[in-house]
Structure 1
Amino acid sequence: MGKTRKTYDIHFKKKVVDLHLNDGMGYQTIAREMDIDKNQVRRWVNHFQEEGMKGLEEKRGKAKGPGIGRPRIRPEDPESKMKRLEAENKMLKKFLDM
């Protein structure tokens, strides 16, 4: 199985970012003290500087816009089902006439 990714809450990320920006601690020092990777610290600082608190929110598993991601399953209304079936029949008749 794959490696399980650990998630951190937004308050922990903000604390890490503040240690770098306000206290002037280096990425390596923060990483060692907080037991996280230094690249993760750098990534959180960059996200915070670009987007503010919104940049520290968890983004995994969220669709980026309408129609993106797995489609929702809803029962098809009779009118649209009839139109779809008529179009299928028309297409099949075309293939049979060839």
Structure 2
Amino acid sequence: MEKKRKTYSAEFKMDIVHKYLHEGWSQSELLKHFRIHNSMLQRWVNQYQREGIEG
């Protein structure tokens, strides 16, 4: 059985990045609360810092 890859909306990603950069959520809090992987969080944050909201 093939595993389907979960996709996240741009709004969800922006919400997570905003919580991390502006609301003071720690990385571990976000990972546990939203059940996302560390590499995804880092990718979203890096992309936002490089390209802004368009990224």
Instruction: State the identity %.
Output: 36
Shift of 1:45: 0.6
Higher relative helix content: 2
Give per-residue Cα distances to partners, 1:22-42, cap 9 Å, x unaligned: 012222210111111122111
Alignment length (residue pairs): 55
TM-score (norm 2): 0.85
TM-score (norm 1): 0.51
1:46 partnered with 2:24: no
Alignment gaps of 5+ in structure 1: 56-98
Kept in 2: contact 1:27–1:42 (CA 8 A): no
Deviation above 6 Å: which 4+ runs of structure 1? none
**Larger Rg over CA atoms:** 1
Alignment gaps of 5+ in structure 2: none
Higher relative contact order (CA 8 A, sep 6+): 2
